[in-house]
Amino acid sequence: MKIETIQNELIDEFSMFEDWMERYEYMIELGKSLPLINSKYKTDENIIKGCQSKVWLHSEFENDKVIFSADSDAIITKGIVAILVRVFSNQSPQAILSANTNFIDAIGLKEHLSPTRANGLVSMIKQIKMYALAYQTQQ
């Protein structure tokens, strides 16, 4: 599935909720459904710098696709990284690098996050794009 299609699905899903408490609850549910990262990848080198809570992001490159796994020690942050993994995992490096992130504004995420969580979100996206760039360079 294309990145834009997944982003539109998320926009539709978030638009079903009346208020932000319901959206936070949905994000927490998404975080709970995030496949567990292998504990061997919960290392300092996989921690996203710039996040207040701990966020581990691991990537692998299989069949010309980047596969992400992630975890966080904070429930809201885990929901945020679950959204990003859903959007960017199983995509080509080029698709990840050329993807826009307007869906984050469309679901209202950035404006409803604390400044530290918003910074963490930016750091997560930056790291996802760095992995994609590294894999693209290897090709």
pTM for the model? 0.95
Residues acting as catalytic residues: 51
Q: What are phi and psi of 57, to 5 degrees?
A: -130, 120
Pairing of strands 65-72, 55-62: antiparallel
In angstroms, the CA 123 to CA 9 distance is 23
Per-residue pLDDT for 139 more than 80? no
Report the CATH number that the domain containing residue 73 is assigned in CATH. 3.90.1010.10
Query: What range does the domain containing 134 cover?
Result: 3-138
Answer yes or no: are the C-beta atoms of 48 and 55 closer than 8 Å. yes
pLDDT-based confidence at 65, cuts 50/70/90? very high
**Span 108-132, mean pLDDT?**
91
Q: How many domains does the chain have?
A: 1
- What tens digit of pLDDT does each residue of 12-60 get? 999 999 899 999 999 999 999 998 899 999 999 999 988 789 999 999 9
User: What amino acid occupies position 44?
Assistant: D
- What tens digit of pLDDT does each residue of 75-107 get? 999 999 999 999 999 999 999 999 999 999 999
Q: At what angle do helices 3-15 and 20-32 cross, to 10 degrees?
A: 130
Looking at residue 91, the DSSP 8-state letter turns out to be: B
